[in-house]
A and B are shown apart, each in its own frame.
Chain A
Amino acid sequence: MSGLKVNMVNTIGEGLGLCLRLPNFYAYLNADQNLDIVAHIKKSKNDNIEEILDIVNLKHRRKSKFSTYSLGMKQRLAIASAMIGDPDVYIFDEPTNGLDPEGIAEIRSIILRIASTGKTIFMASHILDEVEKVCSDVAIIKNGKLLATGTVGHILNDIPTIQVKATDMMALENALKNMEGLTDVRNLGDLIECGISPNMKPEEVNRRLQQQNIILGHLSVKKKRLEEEFLAITNNN
């Protein structure tokens, strides 16, 4: 990762921006004064504070005491303090924990803004919806073991599934089970779901079923959600 050796103590403040758990700042100081202290500790010149406050959208409250901030604003100030010193690599630990939907959206756009400037961001999160929307690469870790890693698209599109429905469900299920290129046919009650291999197309499934006089009342290609994939990966290990 950008040539950095992750030795926490030595690299903190020199190329590594940390935003861990709950934000903690001096309650009696305002955003400017708190960031000033962080900049002093990092021995960074304060010249980019204006820009940082702009990115985290705190400019209008910069003179308010930290104790008057909402949780979302506190979290944004924590991100701002991580940005001081212009590190190349960021580590965010559950940055959206405990925030309202608006706050979550705001943090997401800030993270994307930082990422768009060419920085690397490591984000640990239990909120998979968040990961799906923000991240480019994912690693799934369980009990300290790395279970899966790759781009979000790669992990999601491993085996796309289709859902079908017809009047005669029994005949449909039998036909699907006998068809090549389909895997893991499951009857969900009013729908039948099955995995579809890359060289098989949904159109082809439809055409073959029609040849067997089974007319579909419903056919949908389901893109897998990260949550399902996550559960599948962690359950198998």
Chain B
Amino acid sequence: MKALYLLQLEWKKYKNYRLFQLLFIGYLILLPGILWSIVGREFGAGVPFDPVTIYTFPDIWEYMAYFGNWLMFFFLGFVGVLTITNEHSYKTFRQNIISGLTRHDFFMAKILSILAIILFCTLYFILVGYVVGSYYTRDPQWDEMTEHAGAIANFALVCLAYSVYGLLLGVLVKRTGFALFIYMVAGMFLEKYSVG
């Protein structure tokens, strides 16, 4: 029940935080929004999207994981950075300790809340993929549906990587603007060189 107590504490901090609300709603709208915006569109040469399989099972999972992780680079990474740097800039880390929270619980609360957000976002990811895929796939079969479903796990893993990277920068840099800047620059740089 300790975990629930810590999650509730973080929820009280998040729920009225305007930037968090915007990022979260942005994810909820953009994930299906990006899919819908490319339905039926022609792609130029060199774009690795297949306009036929992009929104049908089983390939939809992989394409969605690709868009979804780009959204998550901004959403989860920013949340990870801000959830730590805010506590530093408002000096509420200190106030929390004065009120009786232990350091260990303070960071556990951060990690647990990030894990809970990843869980929720992954469930939403599955829901969107299922609805869009079922709508565009003619006569979907279970085998077909789950063939590339491993991409869901990939999506969740990349989410975890972004958020942990954000938390780490928050702890190391402490200054909100600077931490976000390093997150974006270094994140894109690392991504480029680790992939290609």
Contact = CB atoms under 8 A, between A and B. Distances in A.
Contacts of B5: 40, 43
Interface in B91-122: 91-92, 94-96, 98-102
B106 to A, nearest CB: 10
Contacts of B96: 41
Interface stretch (B12-20, B38-46, B71-79, B184-192): B12-20
Interface string A18-35: 101011111111000100
Contact of A40 (B12, B86, B91, B94): B12
- Which of A20, A24, A38: most chain B CB closer than 10 A? A24
B98 A18 contact: yes
Contacts of B98: 12, 18, 20
Nearest to B95: A24
A185 interface: no
A37 B12 contact: yes
Contact of A42 (B8, B16, B17, B99): B99
A37 B9 contact: yes
A13 interface: yes
24 contacts: A12-B100, A13-B99, A13-B100, A20-B98, A24-B90, A24-B94, A24-B95, A26-B13, A26-B86, A26-B90, A28-B16, A28-B18, A29-B16, A36-B12, A37-B9, A37-B13, A38-B95, A40-B5, A41-B9, A41-B96, A41-B99, A41-B101, A42-B99, A43-B5
Contacts of B91: 22, 24
A41 B94 CA distance: 13
Nearest to A11: B100
Contacts of B18: 28
A161 interface: no
Interface string B56-91: 000000000000000000000000000000100011
Nearest to A78: B95
Interface residues of A, number: 23
Interface in A70-88: 81
Interface of B: 5, 8-9, 12-13, 16-18, 86, 90-92, 94-96, 98-102
Contacts of B92: 24-26
Contacts of A9: 102
Given A36-B12, A37-B12, A40-B8, A27 B90 contact: yes
Contacts of B16: 28-29, 33
B98 to A, nearest CB: 5
Contacts of B94: 24
- Which of A23, A33, A40, A81: most chain B CB closer than 10 A? A40
A201 to B, nearest CB: 52
B141 to A, nearest CB: 48
Contact of B17 (A14, A24, A28, A37): A28
A65 B96 CA distance: 18
Contacts of B12: 33, 36-37, 40
Given A24-B92, A27-B90, 19 more contacts: A9-B102, A13-B100, A14-B100, A20-B98, A24-B91, A25-B90, A25-B95, A26-B86, A28-B17, A36-B12, A37-B12, A37-B13, A38-B95, A40-B8, A41-B96, A41-B99, A42-B99, A42-B100, A81-B95
Nearest to A84: B99
Given A24-B90, A28-B18, A81 B99 contact: yes
Contacts of B86: 26
